[in-house]
Amino acid sequence: MGSFLRKHWDKLLLFYFVSSYILIFSTLSILRHSSFSSGLDLGNMDQTVWNTLHGRFFSLTSDGVNVSRLAVHSDFLLVLFAPLYALWASPNVLLITQSVYLGLGAIPTFLIAKHLFKNKVIALGFALIYLLSPLVEWVNIFDFHMVSLVIPTFLYAFYCVLTKRWKGYWVFIVLMLLTKEQVGLTIFLLGFVTAVFFKEKKVGVITSLIGVTWFSLMTFVVMPRFSTGGEHWALAWYQSKGPGEIINKVLLSQEVQRYYMLLLKSFGLLPLFGLPWLMLAGPELAINVLSSHSEMQSIQYHYTSVLIPILMIASMYGARYVSILFKKYSQMTLYVLVLGALLIVLRMNYHYSPLPTTESCWCNGYIVAEVDKKFEKILQQIPATASVTSSSEIHAHVSQRESSYLLPYATESANFIALIDQNRIIDNAGPKPYEIELIKKLDTEGRYRLTDRVGHFYLYKKK
């Protein structure tokens, strides 16, 4: 037993860190959903999987109409959850699975660091940096998004490049492509890095061609065919700007500068020393920074998913480059760098993570009140054949049906209207003006009958 512990202590510690992360974030994610603090994205994903299981392949209700999921994103991997829904049809399946694979992302982080540094302590240090990063934790806690799978798969693909395990590499490349259309751009650059830095020209060129072809095909050919507007819906967030506007937004904007700093601090500032590898983040960073959708310049959502593995790799190489500068004291330098980075990440975690131990925690999102439980039971009594329109916080609780609308759609045609007059999404418990006015209208017009009112919740049924 003693010899086993001496030989495998690093793996046992890694197992403890990863399993603790999975348990904590599975629990927090489920609590957040049960307290009606989840948003529309979880409901959209849940409906897509449920519809696929019931013969309506890759479809959902979006902007008031039933459409293919391709009108929104090309996250084809969602269909793989359909068999799981045959066993347990619940958004909790998505939330637990996301916590599992994000937690497992610490394993390729550990393997890459161990390969680069030949030091178990340093490798464990980087695994902890990954698990404690507020970026990873916010991606995990903010609903469910298939693009979050890019985090562990990109790290595994990079490890396969390091160790020349090409069969595994191609599996991870395919998985990444099927998470979201824009990931093809990052894969294009990964192919460039593989060809230039690792001298694997054939693999690199094929990877780049696959990446750019997939991105172009999905974004400009396939998805526009399913879109009601004839183009990718997110292009509206990118109005044409002159060079001066772009430079100002990318370099001079205070909001964007703060965003850059939060990204770097979430990995202990180590990515600054791994600048060559940061070029992999170029496409995704441009997509986030140039968008008029301000949430994309925040670390509290899923928009950092593709950036996280790149920042993690840049952190490891950054530490390696600095240690090479101090050849005589390279090991000591590594320990100082990793310890310093861990301290910065811990401070960031305290100030910015979604954990209930932090000062920034919106802990109401993890408290499931009796009224929440009671209204959940009421919602479960709605027939699956009935159409429902709802507030965004309720959407994921009524999404397992063919037609599940979001307000303000279908307020005259849906069989049921489920409302909450209080915001519950990320640090906002204020009143919801639209819902309050709609309640007055419904009570006045008489086309719908109030069947249940529990606390801030209302359920109306069409007469």
100-109, 194-203, 360-369, 412-421: the lowest-pLDDT one: 360-369
Can you tell me the mean pLDDT for 371-394?
97
Cβ atoms within 10 A of the Cβ of 20, count?
12
Can you tell me the mean pLDDT for 382-404?
97
- Domain ranges in the chain are 14-363, 369-462
Q: Can you tell me the distance from the alpha carbon of 65 to that of 56, in angstroms, rounded to the nearest whole number?
A: 14
Backbone φ and ψ for 397, nearest 5 degrees, come out as -95, -10
Q: What secondary structure letter does DSSP report for 166?
A: H
Q: Please give the pLDDT value at position 427.
A: 67
Can you tell me the mean pLDDT for 356-382?
92
Q: Can you tell me the distance from the alpha carbon of 396 to that of 361, in angstroms, rounded to the nearest whole number?
A: 22
Q: Please give the pLDDT value at position 428.
A: 72
Cβ atoms of 359 and 439 closer than 8 Å? no
Largest CA-CA distance found in the chain, in angstroms, rounded: 82
Cβ atoms within 10 A of the Cβ of 199, count?
9
Question: pLDDT > 70: what percent of the chain?
Answer: 98
DSSP characters for 386-434? S-EEE-HHHHTTS-SSS-EEETTTTTTT-SEEEEESB--SSS--SB-HH
User: What is the pTM for the complete model shown?
Assistant: 0.95
Q: Using alpha carbons only, give the angle 144, 145, 148 rounded to the nearest 5 degrees.
A: 115
Can you tell me the mean pLDDT for 271-298?
92
Question: 430 falls in which pLDDT band (50, 70, 90)?
Answer: confident
Question: 425 falls in which pLDDT band (50, 70, 90)?
Answer: confident
140-154, 164-178, 226-240: the lowest-pLDDT one: 226-240
Classify 270 as helix, strand or coil: helix
Residue 230 predicted with pLDDT over 90: no
Q: List, as own/partner pairs, every contact residues 239-246 make where C-beta atoms lie below 8 angstroms and the sequence separation is at least 24, other chains included.
A: 239/292, 241/290, 246/290
Q: How far is CA 312 from the centre of its chain?
A: 16
Q: Can you tell me the distance from the alpha carbon of 340 to that of 349, in angstroms, rounded to the nearest whole number?
A: 14
Q: Give the Å distances, CA to CA, from 125 to 301, 316, 319, 441.
A: 25, 10, 12, 58
